[in-house]
Homo-oligomer: A and B are copies of this chain.
């Protein structure tokens, strides 16, 4: 048999390696795993989302045999509308709940008819080209989450997916330890494992461990209980349902995305809500305050989500008020801390009692910490180890853990997005990085915003702009005083004198030019003089745009 190599490629994304999308390539066969999006970093001004740059696959389009989606979170599904557009008719494989959630997303994007989604049970097996893929259940903060055992001609690769080892998950469905043991028996060529919490020692608490803190809130609450969490955190909804039942409270859902998810999960049997418990928000707000629980979105400080509007009094139905007990059952995603804290302060200002971490353990992470990460490595005894799903600092920490467990340093591959690892004859090596990075989504634009536009936005955000309108007279000189318009630089209404002085500096600057000088010469002189004048006066560097009329 001619020896072919298997290439594993973490596809260009933002920060977290292989989180949003990865590819397995063997001969003329490509298997994709996940198609997620990332939230932009805070200095990516105006960008709505970031998706992986899979453009290098476009010339190999017909090699793509299938796409597996490991679970229904945005960072694994959010780019699927774009992926489906670019790879129509490539079959998608995922578990039933993931299918349900993905269908909503693809329908909203009007691309559901361009593809086929195959439901696979959490212990199902699918053959995709030369890849035999065994799904196996792993716990995470959404039901129906799986890891993958991918038997390739080069050997067995195990991909943990997003995971934690929860022995007491809310749905009672534990990680598939037996399958992990079986993989180990067969021999694992490489393990790719979730590095999100590799900097944190110990074990991530079980989902169940938040129940005492939730109990305290319900026991002490005299008014409404409002629990804010991620729209997809079905198990948290189940916990709040259970405890609301005990305390005789009805439940309303505030937030369209959470409502969608709850409906799908309920319909498919992933969420059990007693008959008559679920009420409409408009009814809930009219009920006696001690008879109602409300679940809401907006835990990341988004001003336009439910919690943000509640905090500023801009929700039509649901504003925070004295007597409310408001639980933030989610941790801020790094970069959002400031906005989340602001909302907490505002909820307190409105007289509500706010319960959040670290005041009480009302949330736990969905990702394994060091001791669980070690356990996975020990269970699987892989020959090679590739930390994935994390920024470089987390991968480094995870890689060190693997070495502590006896995996030789040269068998640990810490790579960044775009850098493939090749497996051939039982050996692994790093290949050269594939050019590319990630793609900005801005409004309806995909990839049309690049570094130049972002840099301009940065300048505009910092100091605004000044527009100089130069009018030339019939002899070519300056017809009258240049018009000066600014935005984001100074408050024009209070700055008459300064604006006159700016105009004066422009007028002076073009004095030496004679009537035959080109417009460009006028512009250049004006911009140069005005920029210097403005910097000297204000120590600011607004963008200066000249127009010759």
Contacts and interface: CB of A to CB of B under 8 A. Distances in A.
A488 B392 contact: no
Interface string A320-360: 00000000000000110110011011001100001000110
Nearest to A536: B444
B448 A391 contact: no
Nearest to A334: B337
A342 to B, nearest CB: 8
Given A448-B494, A538-B445, A540-B445, A485 B392 contact: no
Interface stretch (A240-248, A254-262, A374-382, A463-471): A463-471
Given A345-B391, A442-B540, A46 B456 contact: no
A495 B335 CA distance: 33
Interface stretch (A178-186, A208-216, A541-549): A541-549
Given A463-B46, A538-B444, A452 B338 contact: no
Contacts of A117: none
Contact of A345 (B42, B393, B449): B393
A488 B460 contact: yes
Nearest to A543: B487
B489 A453 contact: yes
Contacts of A549: 469, 471, 547, 549
Which of A463, A471, A543 gathers most chain B CB within 10 Å? A463
A280 interface: no
Contacts of A42: 42, 338
B457 A464 contact: yes
A467 B547 contact: yes
Assembly stoichiometry (copies) = 2
B539 A491 contact: no
Interface residues of A, number: 66
Nearest to A539: B443
Contacts of A173: none
A547 B545 contact: no
Nearest to A537: B444
Given A453-B489, A465-B487, A359 B445 contact: no
5 contacts: A42-B42, A444-B538, A445-B538, A452-B491, A456-B488
Interface of A: 15, 41-42, 45-46, 199-201, 334-335, 337-338, 341-342, 344-345, 348-349, 354, 358-359, 391-393, 396-397, 416, 442-445, 448-450, 452-453, 456-465, 467, 469, 471, 483, 485, 487-491, 494-495, 537-540, 543, 545, 547, 549
Given A41-B342, A461-B461, 15 more contacts: A46-B488, A46-B540, A335-B337, A345-B391, A444-B539, A448-B494, A449-B491, A452-B491, A456-B487, A457-B464, A458-B461, A460-B460, A460-B488, A465-B465, A467-B547
